[in-house]
């Protein structure tokens, strides 16, 4: 068995093989692989015994289930109203400038992917962003640069 097969099988062992396990399994693959490849979705379909189209249809419905390759750190900047009012654009520019990528892109070293997202539930501390599951609030361009630098450093040390 190749790594994807093993991963899907382990997740199915853990969450079960009924339709209700689809989301937890998809989430588990994304956690490990950062995105859902065609291969992994077909594997899930086989493991649970439902059409691959159903797996794909479900996966693409959810914005946190990436179906395109993504970096190790997925940055999601909130673009909803309060964050927009409180300087989300400046924050976004600072990130783009520092990582030299545009929205929707991944850095060539596959470390960072930059996305926008809808309200993160931190409007009283806007602007906000998520890096993977970690939340960062009351952002300014300076603060963002610090945060990214520390991620890069932590990474270099690995």
Partner 1 sequence: MANSHQLKRVDFIFRNENDWEKVLSTTIKKKPQELINALISSELKGRGGAGFPTGLKWKLTAESKEKQKYVICNADEGEPGTFKDREILSRVPYKVLTAMAICGYITGANKGYIYLRGEYKFLLPELNKVIDEFSYYCKEINLDFNIEIFMGSGAYICGEETALMESMEGKRGEPRNKPPFPTQAGYMGKPTVINNVETLVHSFTIFKYGAKKFYDLGVQYSRGTKLFSVSGDTPKPGIYELELGMSLQDFVYEFGDGDTKAVQVGGASGFLVPRKKFKDAAIGFKGKLTGISLPTGGSMMLFNSSRSMFNVLDNYLEFFREESCGQCTPCRVGCQQLLLGIKAVKRGEKPASYLDKLLRLTETMQYTAKCGLGQSVANSFSSIVANFREEMIY
Contact footprint for partner 1 (CB under 8 A) = 18-24, 26-27, 54, 57-58, 61-65, 79-82, 84-85, 117-126, 130, 133-135
Q: How far is the CB of 22 from partner 1 (least distance, A)?
A: 3
Cα radius of gyration rounded to whole Å, the chain: 17
| Size of the chain in residues | 158
Give the one residue of 83, 99, 115, 130 binding ligand FES; rule: CB under 6 A: 83
Nearest CB to partner 1, comparing residues 58 and 111 = 58
Give the residue ranges of the annotated binding site for [2Fe-2S] cluster. 78, 83, 119, 123
Q: How far is the CB of 54 from ligand FES (least distance, A)?
A: 32
SS (H, E, C) the chain: CCHHHHHHHHHHHHHCCCHHHHHHHHHHHHHHHCCCCHHHHHHHHHHHCCCHHHHHHHHCCCCCCCCCCCCCEEEEEECCHHHHHCCHHHHHHHHHHHHCCCCCCECCCCCEEEEEECCCCCHHHCCCEEECCEEECCCCHHHHHHHHHHHHHHHHCC
For the CB of residue 74, give the shortest distance to partner 1 in the complex, in Å.
11
Should residue 139 be labelled a site residue for ligand FES when binding is judged by CB under 6 A?
no
Rounded least distance, CB 138 to ligand FES, Å? 11
Which residues contact ligand FES (rule: CB under 6 A)? 78, 80-83, 119-123, 126, 128
């Amino acid at each position: 068995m190749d790594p994807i097969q093993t991963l899907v099988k382990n997740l199915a062992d853990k969450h079960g093989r009924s339709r209700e396990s689809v989301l937890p399994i998809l989430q588990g693959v994304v956690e490990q692989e950062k995105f859902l490849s065609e291969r992994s979705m077909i594997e899930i379909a086989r493991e649970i015994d439902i059409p691959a189209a159903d797996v794909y249809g479900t996966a693409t419905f959810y914005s946190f289930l990436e179906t395109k390759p993504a970096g190790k750190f997925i940055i999601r900047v909130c673009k909803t109203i309060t964050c927009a009012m409180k300087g989300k654009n400046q924050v976004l520019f600072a990130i783009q400038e520092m990582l030299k990528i545009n929205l929707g892109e991944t850095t060539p070293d596959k470390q960072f992917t930059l996305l926008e997202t809808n309200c993160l539930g931190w409007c009283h501390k806007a602007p906000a962003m998520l890096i993977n599951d970690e939340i960062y609030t009351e952002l300014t361009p300076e603060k963002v640069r610090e945060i990214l630098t520390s991620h890069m450093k932590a990474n270099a040390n690995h």
